[in-house]
């Protein structure tokens, strides 16, 4: 297992390219199961979660060809098996996204229940309830969700108790091939849901209302091949912007989309960043100043994303002043706080809120992370800490950040990857 060694103290300065969005790529690749013929997906990031997804599809007998320009061709017509096995699902909860497509297209699916997760219990009850309302028969036995759809799924009026991103995606995919109309109320409005809907429409689906809380899907007979490029990763974008703000630096991020990041850019401006945006780029300049602490409350899109909470906790720990960050989407998503405290951060957890008193200084310590965004936040803390920080268990980072050390090096950071035994 690799680790990262980061020597803090460098103000980031330079330009990097933002990769395709992991959280759009996962449902889009799995959504290829709905097609009668091959689809080509472009701007696919090189990430561990993508490899897991391709392995999941490959084991079902789907034919996959990866080309050198971040493109993947998926031909589901060779599928022989409709099972998603525990050994893969346990490493990536988003594997549950094969359930809707398999059921809609092949009438049967056996998907392992995702295991526990470092950021709260994260159940899938809303996915299952929605599919049952569409006529699926679902049993849970031996740790597997065993689902069948008999004569096919039927459109239904679905009222989601809670906003769920992958839940909305699973049900939207299932509904594309159901008989009749499905309405998803209280749907997730995240850009990744919109990207998935646009992709499915390019395959012949009839989806409207994506990006609002009411998505309407008119079921069609079949879906066909398409070529589709994945949207830029807003969380990767936000992470590098926070890195630049914390280090009092100046960066230009290319191939990204500022429109998806309004709530994050607003908080960065409040922290004192000078931000400019263009069609496909964002620049941030701190003019050498220390950031100011910002109050945050996470909530579903378009509010502030939970996937940026850990990074802003790192920012607040070196910023001027006191602030609070409230986490309302996931319970138990403060695992990074204890690690930052070990680096000298003045942070306190009270219920679902973390209070910060900017110390201005962090010191290097060996740290390790328990989830993807927590790992990223420790890398950010290390960038401003005195001394060399060792971040362990970085396989979490490789699940979601393409070439993180190369990109940070390009911005001037002193960071290197070494095998854990070194
Ligand atoms: C997705 C993102 C993840 C992000 C999260 C919230 C992907 C692959 N992952 O995760 O990066 O942090 O959205 O923006 O896109 N819930 C239930 N029952 C369900 C489903 C969800 O109670 O059946 C609850 C969850 O426990 C959580 C909340 O709903 O408290 C939101 O979770 P959800 O939006 O489903 O997260 P994911 O889709 O797993």
Atom 20, ligand 1: which residue's CA is nearest?
A: 124
Q: What pLDDT shows up at residue 369? A: 79
Report DSSP state, residue 302: T
DSSP 84-135: E-HHHHTT-GGGGGGHHHHHHHHSEEEEEPP---TTS----HHHHHHHHHTT
| Mean pLDDT, the chain, whole residue set | 95
Query: Average pLDDT in the 260-269 region?
Result: 98
Q: Give the contacts of 396 (CB within 8 A, at least 6 positions apart).
A: 369, 370, 371, 372, 374, 375
Q: How far is the CA of 123 from the centre of ligand 1 (A)?
A: 8
Q: What pLDDT shows up at residue 118? A: 55
Atom 15, ligand 1: which residue's CA is nearest?
A: 23
What is the atom index within ligand 1 of the atom nearest the CA of 27?
8
Of residues 54 and 2, more confidently modeled = 54
Closest CA to 240 of 317, 311, 134: 311
> Residue 361 — very low, low, confident or very high, per pLDDT cuts 50/70/90?
confident
Q: How far is the CA of 421 from the centre of ligand 1 (A)?
A: 35
Atom 9, ligand 1: which residue's CA is nearest?
A: 23
Is residue 403 flagged as an active site residue?
no
Atom 22, ligand 1: which residue's CA is nearest?
A: 123
What is the atom index within ligand 1 of the atom nearest the CA of 22?
8
Atom 31, ligand 1: which residue's CA is nearest?
A: 164
Q: What pLDDT shows up at residue 112? A: 94
Q: What pLDDT shows up at residue 70? A: 84
> Residue 396 — very low, low, confident or very high, per pLDDT cuts 50/70/90?
confident
Q: Would you call 185 helix, strand, or coil by DSSP?
A: strand
**Over the stretch 131-169, which tens digit does the pLDDT of each residue have?**
999 999 999 999 899 999 988 999 999 999 999 999 999
Residues 5 and 422: beta-carbon distance below 8 Å = no
Interatomic CA distance for residues 269 and 272, integer angstroms: 5
119 pLDDT above the threshold of 60: no
Q: What pLDDT shows up at residue 122? A: 73
- Cα distances from 31 to residues 27, 34, 162, in angstroms, run 6, 6, 23
Interatomic CA distance for residues 175 and 20, integer angstroms: 26
Active-site residue, selected from the candidate residues 10, 113, 117, 277: 117
> Residue 332 — very low, low, confident or very high, per pLDDT cuts 50/70/90?
confident
Place of tokens 């398999």: 102
Atom 3, ligand 1: which residue's CA is nearest?
A: 307
**Over the stretch 58-91, which tens digit does the pLDDT of each residue have?**
999 999 999 877 899 999 999 999 999 999 998 8
Q: What pLDDT shows up at residue 62? A: 98
Q: How far is the CA of 80 from the centre of ligand 1 (A)?
A: 30
Tell if the pTM clears 0.95, that is, is over it: yes
What is the atom index within ligand 1 of the atom nearest the CA of 164?
34
Q: How far is the CA of 122 from the centre of ligand 1 (A)?
A: 7
Q: How far is the CA of 125 from the centre of ligand 1 (A)?
A: 11
Q: What pLDDT shows up at residue 117? A: 52
422 pLDDT above the threshold of 70: no
Ligand 1 residue neighbourhood (C-beta within 6 Å): 23, 26, 93-94, 120, 122-127, 162, 164-167, 192, 306-307, 329-330
Place of tokens 């959504």: 31
Residues 19 and 233: beta-carbon distance below 8 Å = yes
Q: What pLDDT shows up at residue 267? A: 98
391 pLDDT above the threshold of 90: yes
Interatomic CA distance for residues 12 and 70, integer angstroms: 27
Q: How far is the CA of 330 from the centre of ligand 1 (A)?
A: 8
């Amino acid at each position: 297992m690799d680790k990262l060694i980061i020597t803090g103290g460098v103000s980031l300065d330079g330009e990097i390219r933002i990769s395709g969005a992991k959280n759009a790529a996962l449902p889009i690749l799995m959504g290829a199961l709905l097609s009668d013929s091959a689809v080509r997906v472009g701007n696919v990031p090189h990430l561990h979660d993508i490899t897991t997804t391709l392995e999941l599809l490959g084991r079902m007998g789907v034919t996959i060809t990866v080309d050198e320009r971040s493109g993947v061709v998926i031909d589901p017509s060779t599928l022989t098996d409709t099972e998603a096995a525990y050994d893969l699902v346990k490493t990536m909860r988003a594997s549950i996204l094969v359930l809707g497509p398999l059921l809609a297209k092949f009438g049967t699916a056996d998907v392992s229940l995702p295991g526990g997760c470092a950021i709260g219990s994260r159940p899938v009850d809303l996915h299952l309830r929605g599919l049952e309302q569409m006529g699926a028969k679902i049993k849970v036995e031996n740790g597997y969700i065993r689902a069948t759809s008999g004569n096919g799924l039927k459109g239904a009026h679905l009222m989601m108790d809670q906003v769920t991103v992958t839940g909305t995606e699973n049900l939207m995919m299932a509904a594309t091939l159901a008989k009749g109309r499905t309405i998803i109320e209280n749907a997730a409005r995240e850009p990744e849901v919109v990207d998935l809907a646009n992709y499915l429409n390019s395959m012949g689906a009839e989806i409207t209302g994506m990006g609002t809380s009411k998505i309407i899907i008119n079921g069609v007979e079949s879906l066909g091949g398409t070529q589709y490029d994945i949207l830029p990763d807003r969380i990767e974008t936000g992470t590098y912007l926070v890195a630049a703000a914390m280090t009092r630096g100046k960066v230009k991020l290319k191939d990204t989309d500022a429109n998806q990041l309004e709530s994050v850019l607003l908080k960065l401006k409040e922290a004192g960043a000078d931000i400019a945006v263009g069609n496909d780029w964002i620049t941030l300049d701190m003019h050498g100043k220390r950031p100011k602490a910002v109050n945050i409350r996470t909530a579903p899109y378009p509010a502030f994303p939970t996937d940026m909470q850990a990074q802003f906790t790192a920012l607040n720990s070196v910023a001027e002043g006191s602030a609070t960050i409230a986490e309302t989407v996931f319970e138990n998503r403060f695992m990074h706080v204890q690690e930052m405290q070990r680096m000298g951060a003045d942070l306190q957890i009270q219920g679902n809120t973390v209070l910060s008193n900017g110390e201005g200084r962090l010191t290097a310590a060996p740290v390790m992370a328990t989830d993807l965004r927590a790992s990223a936040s420790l890398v950010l803390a290390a960038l401003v800490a005195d001394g060399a920080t060792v971040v362990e268990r970085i396989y979490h980072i490789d699940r979601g950040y393409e070439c993180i050390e190369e990109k940070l090096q390009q911005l001037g950071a002193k960071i290197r990857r070494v095998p854990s035994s070194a």
